[in-house]
Chain A
């Protein structure tokens, strides 16, 4: 009997206009675990992760059916405050997207928009977040420089620090390393290992090896459906379904 999941989606359907992008997805995410979502392009894994912090709300013709629970709260409940939800469920995007501001201001952004005024507090939190994102040593002498001068890998770690600064409970990562070189990728993966001590992490990835390296649980999506879900070791050694095995071993997709 496992403990209660941090996030659960039940019977989740998602539509872009008439096109159904997700079909009846049931998944559970547990605290202090990394769950990898894998599958070929267009399988719905990115759409799915963006349902978890309601990022898809931005698409005018989209529609969600089913339920997603964060702890015990339905995040699609009309009375729910999306701003609060996004604070609790942070997100790191595929392409590093630092704001055209200084490194410090990038990290402090989430605090500032949440009304934190205390300078000392912000300063401490910025330092702590940058340390947690393993970026502090590289940038501590140039916090006031523009973030756009950082390398791609540093920018991505800055985006992680930025997400951590608001102390989320869940961290969504949408192919966080797909735009990075192998060394920067390795750093991000090491970071995920450390971060999972504190957060529930859900990561979309195109790389089987990455999923195998970083995740505890793996969910395989295909054509908008969840095909198989289980712990990563089992999935990668003895998948239940032939389809999963074919994808993991690179026979299709």
Chain B
């Protein structure tokens, strides 16, 4: 009887282990494939020229495979979107966790999270049809499909991530700390600024970085609203062509296993490295500044 139970335990453990193992194996194979299809481009162009070359003309003769403008586009779109998304996301989180009444929070929180459920193509469509003409009119610029517009749309997409994860972090600050602060004659604001935010900073940073890594990898929105010009942007209203947009736009027309095809996969590698870095940093911060309980007795 006892043996039977034990072997059932073992069997369960093995089943779960192989399921977990399967997803790791699949991930690994995708990586192998990505590198197999991407690395051959470096036989044609050096890593330095690829990363820092200023011209991306993959179909010219001879072709130019410099993705620097695309990298700058991705970085600037992500940076500008976080300028919108971080304050909005974190402030909403503070409001939800600390200030809103229970009833309001119960309505607002799911609504913000619903933003995450919007398909990116819908957000892109909104940017194209509503925001672009509006920007064009207001700022008197040649096109509303540009860096600013895509940053705004990406901010919409990363706010739910930032807000929801930050809210969890703020909410989990022990009520003892809050009471301790109030009992010393601190106001609600002072308590939030001086105790609650510092205590939840690791969770908030993780939230911000995950939100940003979502923005940098997002494809459909930037494909639709960034404008698609493979040039280094001159202002926040310049049209740009971020890395994922280039892959999505060009993959269909790139000859199979041609240089262009390899170059697009190499862009994929660059993107992969970016998001990997973001995640590593998030992990590092989460561990280094881990939230500490109210007392280690």
Contacts and interface: CB of A to CB of B under 8 A. Distances in A.
Interface residues of A, number: 32
Contacts of B295: 95-98, 148, 152, 155, 179
B198 interface: yes
B38 to A, nearest CB: 44
A94 B45 CA distance: 67
B185 A100 contact: no
B23 to A, nearest CB: 36
A90 B182 contact: no
B294 A97 contact: yes
A83 B183 CA distance: 8
Nearest to B199: A100
Nearest to A101: B198
A93 B185 contact: no
A172 to B, nearest CB: 8
B18 interface: no
B179 interface: yes
* Among B174, B180, B181, residue most surrounded by chain A Cβ atoms (within 10 Å): B180
A113 B183 contact: no
Contacts of A166: 184-185
Contacts of A93: 176, 179-180, 183
B104 interface: no
Interface stretch (A29-37, A53-61, A117-125, A198-206): A53-61
Interface in B150-188: 174, 176-177, 179-187
Chain B at the A interface: mostly helix, strand, loop or mixed? helix
A110 interface: yes
Interface in B110-147: none
B101 interface: yes
Given A60-B101, A100-B199, A90 B183 contact: yes
A48 interface: no
A187 interface: no
B292 A97 contact: no
Contacts of A55: 179, 182-183
A86 B182 contact: yes
A30 to B, nearest CB: 22
Interface in B192-220: 194-195, 198-199
B106 interface: no
Contacts of B296: 148, 152
Q: Which of A53, A87, A100, A114 has the largest number of chain B CB atoms within 10 A?
A: A100
A145 to B, nearest CB: 14
A97 B184 contact: no
Interface in A97-112: 97-101, 109-110, 112
B176 A113 contact: no
A86 B185 contact: yes
Contact of B180 (A58, A159, A179): A159
Contacts of A162: 180, 184
Given A83-B187, A113-B187, A152-B297, A100 B292 contact: yes
B190 interface: yes
Contacts of A60: 101-102
A134 interface: no
A100 B176 contact: no
Contacts of B101: 60
A113 B292 contact: no
Contact of A110 (B185, B294, B297): B185
A188 to B, nearest CB: 14
Interface string A51-75: 0010100101000000000000000
A113 B180 contact: no
B181 A99 contact: yes
Contact of A99 (B180, B185, B187, B297): B180
Contacts of B181: 99, 109, 113
A179 B185 contact: no
Contacts of B186: 83, 109-110, 113
Given A110-B186, A112-B194, 9 more contacts: A55-B182, A60-B102, A86-B183, A97-B295, A99-B180, A101-B198, A152-B297, A163-B183, A166-B185
28 contacts: A55-B179, A55-B182, A55-B183, A83-B187, A86-B182, A86-B184, A87-B184, A87-B185, A90-B184, A91-B179, A93-B176, A96-B295, A96-B297, A97-B176, A98-B295, A99-B198, A100-B177, A100-B199, A109-B184, A109-B186, A113-B186, A114-B185, A162-B184, A163-B183, A166-B184, A179-B295, A179-B297, A180-B297
